[in-house]
Structure 1
Amino acid sequence: MSAFFIFVFVMSFTPGPNTMMAMVSGQQRGFHASLRLNLGMLFGMGFMGLMGALFAHWLQSTPTFLTAMKIIGSAYLLYLAYHILISRPGETNNSTGDFRTGMLLQLTNIKGYLYFITGLGAFSLSGILNNIPIKWLLMVLIGSFGTLAWTVCGQMMSRFYTRYYRGFNTIITLLLMFAAFDLWR
């Protein structure tokens, strides 16, 4: 059981496209204004988890689907990277804070699909925790806490961000570009 929770926490709290966007939104908009993005990520994660649970075998054995998701995910990450690169403190960047962005980011996040396919299929838990809907719920809730934590960190760094936004935006842009290219490894 501990292996499952370690896996879920590591996957939920380590950097990825969704956590980077949550942090940027927290910096640029603050925690409360970033809740729409986080809610979109929550719904996207829940839907992705349902698809992972229902179609795990098909998803693993259909390279065409995985390639299409990589293309869409890479293009979307590069689009977001561009908008972060050109943003400035005080601007309201619609591409980093709305429900639709959060949901689309989650639905094109290959790390998220691997999270659910592995978490739901590779771990056997005892008792009621071995029930797929319960594991799904735990994974969605813990994953959502991960993005909320990054949003809080972003808000806490907002003063630092205002002073050093060019360098910070460049680093986040490079990380998102790396994530887009890393999908192809």
Structure 2
Amino acid sequence: MTLDILSALIAFCFVGVITPGPNNLMLMASGANYGFRRTVPHMLGIGIGMPVLVVLVGLGVMRIFEMWPLVEQVLMVLSVAYLLFLAWKIANAAPPVRTHESEVAGNPLTFLQAAAFQWVNPKAWFMALSAITLYAGGRDPIAILWVAAAYACVSVISTTSWTALGQQMRRLLGHPTRLRIFNWTMAALLVATLIPVLWPAQG
């Protein structure tokens, strides 16, 4: 892979991961509700889960969709249902109860949950399919690994930035009412990310 193509790949991946989407909205909500440190497993789950998805998509998952389109439709239904469930959980998150000085009771997403979430995240699928098509169209394993590595690198910037943003907002969300409004807003935005999936632009 030439330097020009690699630069274009990194830019493509960076724009994809830094823009608002299910992962970033959930990280911001987690940072606001649980703080940066407790959100680290969630961040690592995204940082590793996304490259794994890219590799498996490049090595054969796309062929499964081509052979059995019904599988893609089933996955889409599961994705929508799970995102709606997560939105409901965020919207109905109880006001934080501090166990001591700064710890807040509750259960942020674990590493495995965040990694597995990539498989039902419509934006993650779109980014993986697009990147493989554009930068590893021949399904060369080395090219696929380059794409996965690019996502792994840029995800560090994205996950850190969105979690830190959420953590900084904790000071403004100290009152239960403000936190509830924030959580409902995050839930609504999470549902809104489904609009391009359910009603794609025509033409």
User: Do these two structures clear the TM 0.5 threshold for a shared fold by scoring above it?
Assistant: yes
How do 1:139-158 residues align onto structure 2 when only pairs under 5 Å count?
Answer: 139-158=151-170
What aligned pairs does 1:37-76 form with structure 2 within 5 A after superposition? 37-55=42-60, 57-58=62-63, 61=66, 62-76=68-82
For residues 14-34 of structure 1, the C-alpha deviation after alignment (integer angstroms, 9 at most, x for no partner) is: 111111111111111111111
Which residue of the partner structure matches residue 93 of structure 1?
106
SS at match of 1:157: helix
Q: Distance in 1 between matches of 2:131 and 2:94?
A: 38
Where does the alignment leave 5 or more consecutive residues of structure 2 unmatched? Answer: 98-104, 137-141
Distance 1:161 1:69, change over 3 A: farther
Q: Residue 56 of structure 1 contacts residue 117 of structure 1 at CA under 8 Å; is this kept in 2?
A: no
CA shift for structure 1 position 161: 2.5
* Cα offset, 1:51, TM superposition: 1.2
Counterpart among 136, 149, 160 of residue 137 in structure 1: 149
The two structures have a TM-score, normalised by structure 2, of 0.78
1:168: Cα distance to partner?
1.1
**CA RMSD across the alignment:** 2.1
- 1:127 alignment counterpart: none
Aligned equivalent of 1:24, options 18, 23, 29: 29
Give, as a single letter, the amino acid of the residue that structure 1 aligns with 2:93.
S
Q: CA 1:106–1:73 in 2, change beyond 3 Å: closer, same or farther?
A: same
User: What runs of 5+ residues in structure 1 fail to find an aligned partner?
Assistant: 125-129
Q: Say which SS state the counterpart of residue 183 (structure 1) adopts.
A: helix
Select 1:13's aligned residue among 15, 18, 28. 18
Task: Choose the corresponding residue for 2:193, options 161, 179, 184.
Answer: 179
Task: Name the structure 2 match of 1:160.
Answer: 172
Shift of 1:141: 2.2
CA contact (8 A) 2:90 2:186 kept: yes
Deviations 1:127-185 (A, max 9, x none): xxx73312221122213431222111111111122332122111111111222454222
Shift of 1:12: 0.7
Larger radius of gyration: 2
Counting aligned pairs with the same residue, the percent is 27
Residue equivalent to 1:35: 40
Q: Is the 8 A contact 1:22 1:147 kept in 2?
A: yes
Judging by fraction of residues, say which structure has more helix: 1
Larger mean Cα displacement after TM superposition, 106-115 or 131-140: 131-140
TM-score (normalised: structure 1): 0.85
